């Protein structure tokens, strides 16, 4: 069972194994919102529709996470200091092993330029000058799993209020057809739809959920159709009536 964390209205994944399973096994893409110095990282934020699908399929449970972070400066400094010391000891041991291999050559070169100190003294000097680990250059840990031991479970009913019946049913229908689906807001729709994983495929559809085709004005139809042409994707309107999802594709034909 995949564990999701509910924090301040967002549903997050911290566990890298769960993230992998969601993407590979269930075509759940989400949005990476963490960061390192070089690349995006966990946690991953899920769309409300992704969460509802996982709950309806009994693939996940939701834990209520903390609504705020208690900033205890003393505990934070203590953690940093202990982690820094542990890293200094570890790196010193690694550097010792590396110097053991080359110390004889280093001593020979030092002797040639008049340095008559003992091997042990030169070894200690080389070790000290190459083992300077500070807060500025230390390696910081990336936590890949949230602590859920003291978190309560969130009732499914609370999660069902995150999205509308229209959007959740459209998402479910597209997912059951085998598509990959992501947030479509940046393209003016509700969802972007792909034949395969977005890493390897471009989106083919922009899907916009509407209460009824009759409620869409001609200007809105034209604007959405032209948008699809501009971004080289098919513009699709989706409705949910009488328990069924229906789609209308807008084809723009130049006269």
Residue 3's CATH number: 3.40.1170.20
Instruction: Say if residue 36's pLDDT is above 80.
Output: no
Output the pLDDT for position 70: 54
2, 38, 141, 148, 153 from 145: Cα distances, Å: 12, 20, 12, 9, 17
Pair 43, 157 in one domain: yes
Q: Which of 94, 220, 124, 33 is nearest to 237 (CA)?
A: 220
Contact 123, 38 (CB under 8 A): no
Query: Residue 8: what pLDDT?
Result: 84
φ, ψ (nearest 5 deg) of residue 106: -65, -45
Do 168 and 47 touch, CB atoms closer than 8 A? no
Do residues 48 and 100 share a domain? no
Residue 134 belongs to some domain of the structure: no
Residue 173 CB burial class (10 angstroms; 0-12, 13-18, ≥19): middle
Look at residue 158 in the predicted model and tell me its pLDDT.
84
How many domains does the structure of the chain reveal? 3
Same domain, yes or no, for 199 and 99?
A: no
List % helix, strand, coil for the chain (3-state, nearest 5): 40, 25, 35
Taking the mean position of all CA atoms in its chain, how far away is CA 246? Answer: 32
Q: With 60 as the cut, is the pLDDT of residue 132 above it?
A: yes
Average pLDDT over residues 113-139: 87
Q: Report the CATH number at residue 255.
A: 3.40.1350.10
Q: Distance (Å, rounded) from C-alpha 237 to C-alpha 35?
A: 35
Q: How far apart are CA 194 and CA 206, in angstroms?
A: 10
Instruction: Kindly report, residue by residue over 135-181, the tens digit of the pLDDT.
Output: 888 887 766 555 555 678 888 888 888 899 999 999 999 999 999 99
Mean pLDDT of the chain: 88
Residue 228 sits in the same domain as residue 248? yes
Strands 234-241 and 244-250: antiparallel
Q: Is residue 223 part of a domain?
A: yes
Contact 170, 246 (CB under 8 A): no
Domain for residue 139, yes or no? no
Find the helix or strand (DSSP H, E) in which 209 lies. Answer: strand 205-209
User: pLDDT digit string (tens) for 188-220?
Assistant: 899 999 999 999 999 999 999 999 888 888 899
| Element counts in the chain: helices (H) and strands (E) | 7, 11
pLDDT at 238 over 80: yes
Instruction: Looking at the structure, tell me whether residues 183 and 203 fall in a common domain.
Output: yes
Identify whether residues 181 and 236 lie together within a single domain.
yes
Domain residues for the domain of 87 are 73-129
Q: What is the pTM of this model?
A: 0.70
């Amino acid at each position: 069972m995949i564990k999701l964390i509910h924090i301040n209205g967002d549903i997050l994944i911290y566990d890298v194994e769960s993230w992998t399973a969601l993407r590979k096994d269930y075509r759940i893409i989400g949005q990476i919102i963490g960061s390192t110095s070089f690349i995006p990282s966990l946690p991953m934020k899920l769309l409300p529709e992704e969460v509802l699908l996982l709950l309806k399929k009994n693939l996940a449970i939701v834990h209520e996470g903390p609504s705020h972070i208690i900033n205890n400066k003393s505990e934070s400094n203590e953690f940093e200091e202990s982690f820094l010391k542990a890293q200094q000891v570890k790196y010193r041991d690694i550097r010792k092993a590396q110097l053991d291999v080359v110390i004889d050559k280093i001593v020979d070169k030092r002797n040639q330029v008049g340095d008559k100190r003992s091997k042990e003294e030169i070894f200690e000097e080389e070790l000290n000058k190459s083992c300077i680990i500070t807060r500025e250059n230390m390696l910081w840990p990336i936590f890949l799993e949230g602590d859920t031991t003291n978190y309560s479970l969130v009732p499914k009913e609370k999660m069902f209020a995150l999205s509308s019946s229209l959007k959740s049913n459209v998402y479910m229908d597209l997912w059951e057809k085998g598509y990959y689906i992501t947030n479509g807001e940046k393209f003016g729709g509700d969802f972007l739809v792909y034949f395969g994983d977005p890493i390897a495929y471009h989106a083919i559809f922009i899907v916009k959920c509407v209460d009824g085709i009759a409620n869409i004005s001609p200007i809105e139809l034209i604007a959405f159709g032209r948008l699809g042409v501009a971004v080289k994707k098919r513009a699709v309107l989706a409705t949910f009536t009488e328990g069924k999802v229906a789609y209308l594709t807008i084809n723009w034909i130049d006269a």
